[in-house]
């Protein structure tokens, strides 16, 4: 699920969420823009390039009946204020939409673990970075690879956060390529989480 960031339909990049329909039932869904006007497409704060969107779903695990929310976003890559305010807005919206129901938030935050916007999320009292829950996270590279051109360093700019109710047992950056070709300018980040 996910709408296009440009027009709220199919236009532009999506912060899509994929799930297995044989394992999860979709209960609810929605989107909001990372801007001062989250209910309609638009640039946020000091962003200069692109509208940014956060998509979310409420899922129910068919086997157990457990319910949770999943949020996914791509923060601006130029506007520092936009990234900080996006972090604040995401925390606010998770509280409003998910309430006390467990939630996962994933995203390309365009910033590492020392960035102000990362710290806004990590110090919110609502979200915990799954990286910090795992004893030995697998970090053999940065999560950004620039299509193989920037394949050094260990900065993580793609993050997986959870609220209370989830715990992570494994975390890693998957650096596989397909016959030497990069499938994206970012490597996948994986967290194995359990819903209590």
Mean pLDDT calculated for residue range 66-81: 98
69: Cβ contacts below 8 Å, ≥ 6 apart:
56, 57, 58, 59, 94, 97, 98, 101, 102, 103, 104
Instruction: Identify the sign of the CA torsion 183, 186, 192, 196.
Output: negative
What residue spans define the domains of the chain? 24-195
Mean pLDDT calculated for residue range 36-50: 96
Encode pLDDT of 112-141 as tens digits: 999 999 999 999 999 999 999 999 999 988
CB 112 within 8 A of CB 155: yes
Q: Which CATH architecture has domain 24-195?
A: 4-Layer Sandwich (3.60)
* pLDDT given at position 151: 67
Kindly report the number of other CB atoms within 10 A of residue 64's CB atom. 8
Token pair in block for residue 160: 């997986």
* pLDDT given at position 152: 67
């Amino acid at each position: 699920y996910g709408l296009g960031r440009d027009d709220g339909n199919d236009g532009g990049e999506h912060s899509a969420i994929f799930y297995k329909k044989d394992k999860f039932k979709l209960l609810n869904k929605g989107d909001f823009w990372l801007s001062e006007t989250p209910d309609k497409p638009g640039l946020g704060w000091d962003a200069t390039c692109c509208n940014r969107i956060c998509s979310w779903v409420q899922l129910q695990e068919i086997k157990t009946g457990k319910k949770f929310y999943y949020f996914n976003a791509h923060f601006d890559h130029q506007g520092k204020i936009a990234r900080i305010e996006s972090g604040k807005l995401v925390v606010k919206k998770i509280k409003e939409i998910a309430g006390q129901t467990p939630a996962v938030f994933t995203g390309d935050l365009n910033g590492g673990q020392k960035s102000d916007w990362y710290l806004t999320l990590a110090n919110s009292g609502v979200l915990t970075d799954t990286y910090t829950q795992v004893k030995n996270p697998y970090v053999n590279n940065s999560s950004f690879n620039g299509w193989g051109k920037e394949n050094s360093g260990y900065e993580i700019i793609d993050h997986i956060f959870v609220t209370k109710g989830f715990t992570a047992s494994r975390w890693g950056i998957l650096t596989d390529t397909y016959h030497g070709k990069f499938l994206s300018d970012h490597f996948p980040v994986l967290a194995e989480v359990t819903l209590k």
